[in-house]
Amino acid sequence: MLNKYIDIIFKKQYPRWTIMLFDFAATASILLSYNFYQLDNFITISWPFIFLIPFVNFLFLRILGVYNTSIRYYSLENLFSLILSFICSFFIIYQLSNFSVLLERFTIMDLIIVYYLSISIIISFRFFIKIIFKNFGTYKVENVLVYASEDLNIIINFLNQSKYFKISGVIIDDNLKHLNSGINSYGLDDNLITIIKQYNVKKILIPDSLNIEKIEFIYNLKNSSKFDIVKFPEQSKFLDRLTEFSLNPLEIEDLLSRDKISLNKKNIKKEYYDKRILITGGAGSIGSEIIRQLIKFKPSQILIIDNSETPMFDLKSELSSFEEEINFHFVVDSILDKDSMSYLFKKFKPEVVFHAAAFKHVSMMEENPKSAIINNILGTKNLLDVSLNSSISKFVFISSDKAVNPSSVMGVTKRICELYISKFFKDIPDIIVTRFGNVLGSNGSVVKIFKDQISSGGPVTVTHPEVNRYFMTIPEASQLVLEAGAMGEKGEIFVFDMGEPVKISDLAKKMIKLSGKIIDEDITIEYIGLREGEKLYEELLTDSEKLKKSYNSLILIAEKDYVDNNTYTAIDELIESAKKGSNNVILIDKMREIVEEYKPLNSKYS
């Protein structure tokens, strides 16, 4: 019965403010008790002083990062930071006692006693929590192998503090030296499967930055033994918040991406640090990942707008641990409500806008051109109109490779947005367009469709044997959006290097193989024909565009769009026609007039 209640209490992640409150109350209580102890002279310590010492303690505990780590994972480094905080506080208060009349009756011996009792109680409380968590409660211990990285010692410390994991060994590369002599080390070779079976390994922990070939080698070992592969975040991300709940399971998408990209973090931080940032479509795949990447650069405020309630709720829960560092605002609203957008701009005064909200599913928009025009084009127009005479200094529009020589309704609405943006070059300091291809793992991604089809036994449906697409992971796309936004100037179109295009049929075959299935025996591939609006291949440039290099080899810059006033008038007329409910043929014809290269494919509008 006792174990049950201990599990309920100590498995939960409590807010850091509860620990802060305990630390503050502990010192304040000692000072108050000290007053009562001095019965013959109740004013030995004045009332303001009862709150001064706890406040100065709290200040140094925050500065030295004592509250960044959960108590259950406290190490000697954390304990040293705590003691150092109290030493700094002691000297500040001691210096004040020489000048303040509030402290004139408070001797140095009194000060030593208060600090000694405070630090004893606060450290004892932390050790009590660790002992309770480590030695009581019911839990299942799993044997794990850890892939060596620069953060190896931090990861090992975390695992040693956790009651859920036992380290069976470390996997090392030839160029990495294992510094922990008490733990066995193994090479990344075929003998590793023997170690996995011998120690009944249930998890292999790999760094987020591990290259694809090595991840694939480990993944293939799963065919011989059952274990999970999980990623631990790199030092610059969330290691200071690492828990057994924050280890991310490896997804098939991780095996389809390229090696990790390199960003100019100094430039990005300079652009976004301490800024007020607004993100539309913030609960979507790209929008939410932009937020995760932005957190590292410490903006002062992030305003998140999305009209999907459930994803927004999930995102708010995910970001709750960062609310002490960044001021988040979650607004369930539509960019189509111009009055509401105007109110939000006036209230929160954003300095940077990332516009990621859009209808993006090609086949769905072929059936609903009116909705695509209103949401994608009118929504963008609303934001640009509201941005005029506002506090923003940068507007970043998330476009698509489907906007290039568009063959679909979705693609042509994105291209029209790109053209309409040029109207505001003189009015908004920096407007940036970012253009990239398909994103692995995003909502509606072919990868998720294939995963569901494989898990249900197939068949895996591919539109055409020769169809190919450019692919990029969600973190890759989001990181490049941030860097393009940081380097961009007025009206530039940034085209991301998507690597080599991937045949969708080859992607399907690889995913079937990685799932431990045999093609045509366990899972079949069925070709169903191109859907409406789809091309065999996508492009990243129009025929008239030329590219120049940027300082990031993965980001290229296309020439700016320059459009005459007749085009802007035609776009406004298109929006009005859609709002009035004109039939689809009329809307398609109007879009053809605006974007001459728009040629519907495999469509009723062809």
Residue range 375-383: average pLDDT?
A: 94
Residue range 121-142: average pLDDT?
A: 71
CA distance 231 to 233: 6
Chain-wide mean pLDDT for the chain? 77
Other CB atoms closer than 10 Å to residue 81's CB: what's the count? 20
Residue range 121-140: average pLDDT?
A: 71
Residue range 100-127: average pLDDT?
A: 75
Tokens 């007053």 — which residue?
35
Q: Which residue among the candidates 381, 402, 423, 535 is catalytic per the annotation?
A: 402
Which range has the top average pLDDT, 214-218, 302-306, 315-319, 405-409?
302-306
- What's the pTM? 0.64
pLDDT in tens, 292-342: 888 888 899 999 999 999 989 989 888 887 877 889 999 999 999 999 999
Residue range 403-432: average pLDDT?
A: 86
pLDDT in tens, 64-110: 777 766 666 666 667 777 888 888 888 887 777 666 655 555 677 77
Quick one: pLDDT at residue 328? 92
Contact indicator for 512, 519 with CB cutoff of 8 Å: yes
Tokens 């469709």 — which residue?
449
Domains and CATH numbers, the chain: 2-135 (no CATH), 142-250 (3.40.50.720), 265-439+473-499+539-594 (3.40.50.720)
Is 347 one of the catalytic residues? no
Quick one: pLDDT at residue 71? 66
Q: pLDDT > 90: what percent of the chain?
A: 16
Angle at which helix 474-487 crosses helix 265-272, to 10 degrees, equals 70
- DSSP labels, 537-602: S--SS-TT--EEE-SSTTEEEEPPP---HHHHHHHHHHHHHHHTT--HHHHHHHHHHH-TT----S
Residue range 472-486: average pLDDT?
A: 76
pLDDT in tens, 331-370: 999 999 999 999 999 999 999 999 999 998 888 888 899 9
- DSSP labels, 58-93: HHHHHHTTGGGS-GGG--HHHHHHHHHHHHHHHHHH
